[in-house]
Structure 1
Amino acid sequence: MRKWLAVGAGVNLLLGVPGVVPVWLVWYWASNWPLAGLGWTQGEPTENDGMLPWFMVATPVLVLFGLAWWLVNRPVRRRAEVSGRLYWSVGAAATFVPTGALFAVSALHG
């Protein structure tokens, strides 16, 4: 039923609130990676500990969040009578809504 797609979107929207932390960790890691001369950001000049502490902190957080996200979505996906591609796309997009809202607010307040 399509109502389960709405339930999945709501669940993923709620999961996106604590999901701000893993997204921030990935962004911080990508912006400070020594080989990331992609021009997106400038690395933090005081970040001189190397990347090992970030791998030690970020890996468990990312794994736990990814596992929780998958375990919560799996039963809802089974009930949703829509294609898997549609369900997972809506779920991922809804998860990033709180992070996008924080980006928008921070851009407005400069």
Structure 2
Amino acid sequence: MALVKKGSRLITVDGTTYRWRLRGRPTYDQGLVQSPLAYAVEHADTPGTTLVVTTDQPHPGNWFGTQGRPVLPAQVADSIRTALTNGWTPASPGSSFRLDSSEGFVSSH
């Protein structure tokens, strides 16, 4: 499934362009700071398998005002490189590829 273009950003990593997007509103668990922020990445030209990256920080729109850090393009690029090294094939169809970087996340409850 392709990402929605509205609200997504383009990033070029090692000569290949990708589209990435954060969910605007938190999921219920993210709102309660019980699960961390996640974002999705796909190949910009031929979307296939979507990369879902789980971070170690709370969603910025959580309901408790728990402070997080912004997701920077350099972090997205590092995640893309890590996923490619671990077998992500962005232009091939298939179910989502998950990259869990949530070590260190502290739940509010």
Same fold (TM over 0.5): no
Structure showing the higher strand proportion among its residues = 2
Structure showing the higher helix proportion among its residues = 1
Higher RCO, Cα 8 Å, sep 6+: 1
Structure whose CA Rg is larger: 1
